[in-house]
Amino acid sequence: MVDQPQETTEPRTSVELFAGGGGLAMAVHQAGFRPLLFNEFDHRACETLVASAKKTLGVDGLVRTEEKRPEPPEPGKPAPLYPGDVRDLDMSALKGRVDLLAGGPPCQPFSAGGVAKGDEDKRNMFPAMFKAVREIRPKAVICENVRGLLRPSFRDYFQYIQNELRLPFEKRNDEVRWQDHNDHLTSILAKLSDDDSDPDHYKVVMIPVNAADYGVPQVRNRVVIVAFRADLGVDVEAFEKYVKTPRFSEDALFRSMRDEDGPYWQRHRVPGHVRDRVRARLPKVIKEDDCQPWRTLRDAIQGYGTDAKLPALPKVNLKRLDEKFDFGERIDVTDHIGWPGARIYKGHTPNELDRPAKTVKAGVHGVPGGESVMLLDSRYRDSNSPDGWTYRHRYMTVRETARVMTFPDAWLGAGPRGEQMRQLGNAVPVVLGEFFANAVAEALAAAGH
């Protein structure tokens, strides 16, 4: 960002709440943070964290604990996992020992696909995040949530969330309405100067993001909230400018596809009719920029979905689409299993290989809709189609969906297919989380911490 992270004798530390299937936790680990505590309520997600810990979280396993006031582990020791309600935790033993508190509070209260009760919904866990901030006093906080928080019906409450994070020690009493408490916080904030350095205060940056703009092979619109403790002297304006600077773009993808022998087609050798179809739909005017191309679903399946090149996933045999066949077994790739019954219907258009995937969703009861169906390169004659051809389609495998979420192939999702897909749909793409965790680490280093 400004300076590279300074050399330290020990890695930075982190606490992960609402860890789910581990997307943000893996991201924070990749950015060099040592986990001191994990929390997750869902038992299947806990099984996933335990199964994947050694290979994906940089810890020598996880230890389930019912201890409600967990002690931080020594370096090299297994990290504790509290498999219960975060509101029951006392994290005061971690006070002053945590660089980064990270988590995505459950998004159903604010999701367009949920009941959208917002602050009245008992699943709203932002208050639990603020409680953790008071107990831990972390140097920085990262929260990820759905773009629904920006809807007009939630605008005032979302501003209240940010105000609470700025002044977490101005605790709201249960009998006080949030609107009245927000008036109180607003009056305090109005009196603060730009150089406020009170250690009880935080400086907050809110960033609407599309994960595709950060190198994720998926269009995924979210909100990321980052906070730095005010006494640390972090240059928040420089941080905000850095994280909002575009790095990947749709136009750059179009430019890579524009020519018949363009970089995208050199990387992917596809049937001529596929290339011609994609090129025919490119806009006539394509903007110039300095960005890298958006990554596509085809990139992800072929191993280009992250900066680290992965092996291409084995092709799914079209003759076995009606079977739950394990297509990854021969190369020891887990969960690359076909799923029969894919169909295309109104309101659930499929993914296209040469576009970023649609948003991976948890779906109702863990069963995604058209978001997990993909069009293939194979086609057949169809007199009812305008051009005389119809492209075949199938369900994406769990492993392909994990690739779209930029999860490593070492990630092992617990439970049946629907449960694994639910965990992926609720997660933070690793590449997106890692970008923000690295940016936080660099901002702290630049400020001398």
Here the CATH number for the domain that contains residue 163 is 3.40.50.150
- Rounded to the nearest integer, the mean pLDDT of the chain is 90
pLDDT category, 109, cuts 50, 70, 90?
low
Residue 365 has pLDDT above 90, yes or no: no
Query: Is 74 among the domain residues?
Result: yes
pLDDT at residue 58, as a whole number = 76
Residue 251 has pLDDT above 90, yes or no: yes
pLDDT at residue 364, as a whole number = 47
| Amino acid letter, 417 | R
- Residue of 406, 436, 429, 441 whose CA lies nearest to 243: 436
Query: Is 416 among the domain residues?
Result: no
pLDDT at residue 8, as a whole number = 47
pLDDT category, 370, cuts 50, 70, 90?
low
pLDDT category, 86, cuts 50, 70, 90?
very high
pLDDT at residue 88, as a whole number = 94
pLDDT at residue 106, as a whole number = 76
Per residue in 199-236, pLDDT (tens digit) is 999 999 999 999 999 999 999 999 999 999 999 999 99
Q: Residues, the chain, total?
A: 449
Residue 281: partners with Cβ closer than 8 Å, 6 or more residues away: none
Number of domains in the chain: 1
Query: Is 362 among the domain residues?
Result: no
Query: Is 254 among the domain residues?
Result: no
Query: Is 384 among the domain residues?
Result: no
Between 60-64, 323-327, 403-407, 430-434, the lowest mean confidence (pLDDT) is in: 60-64
User: Mean per-residue pLDDT for 12-27?
Assistant: 95
Residue 378 has pLDDT above 80, yes or no: yes
Between 35-44, 162-171, 328-337, the lowest mean confidence (pLDDT) is in: 328-337
Range of the domain at 143: 12-247+425-446
Q: Please give the residue that has the higher pLDDT: either 53 or 48.
A: 48
In percent, how much of the chain has pLDDT > 90?
72
Per residue in 114-162, pLDDT (tens digit) is 434 445 556 678 899 999 999 999 999 999 998 888 888 888 889 999 9
pLDDT at residue 348, as a whole number = 78
pLDDT at residue 347, as a whole number = 74
**Which residues form the catalytic set?**
107
- Give 411-416's long-range contacts (Cβ < 8 A, gap of 24+): 411/21, 411/22, 411/26, 411/48, 411/52, 411/56, 412/48, 412/51, 412/52, 412/334, 412/335, 413/21, 413/48, 413/335, 414/44, 414/45, 414/47, 414/48, 414/51, 415/44, 415/47, 415/48
Q: Which residues pair with 375 in a beta bridge?
A: 393
Residue 374 has pLDDT above 70, yes or no: yes
Residue 189 has pLDDT above 80, yes or no: yes
Query: Is 168 among the domain residues?
Result: yes
Residue 238 · residue 250 · CB < 8 Å: no
pLDDT category, 403, cuts 50, 70, 90?
very high
Residue 79: partners with Cβ closer than 8 Å, 6 or more residues away: 35, 36, 37, 38, 53, 57, 59, 62, 63, 73
pLDDT at residue 367, as a whole number = 46
Query: Is 123 among the domain residues?
Result: yes
Residue 2 · residue 442 · CB < 8 Å: yes
d(CA 19, CA 60): 17
Query: Is 142 among the domain residues?
Result: yes
Between 151-155, 180-184, 394-398, 443-447, the lowest mean confidence (pLDDT) is in: 151-155
Residue 6 has pLDDT above 60, yes or no: no
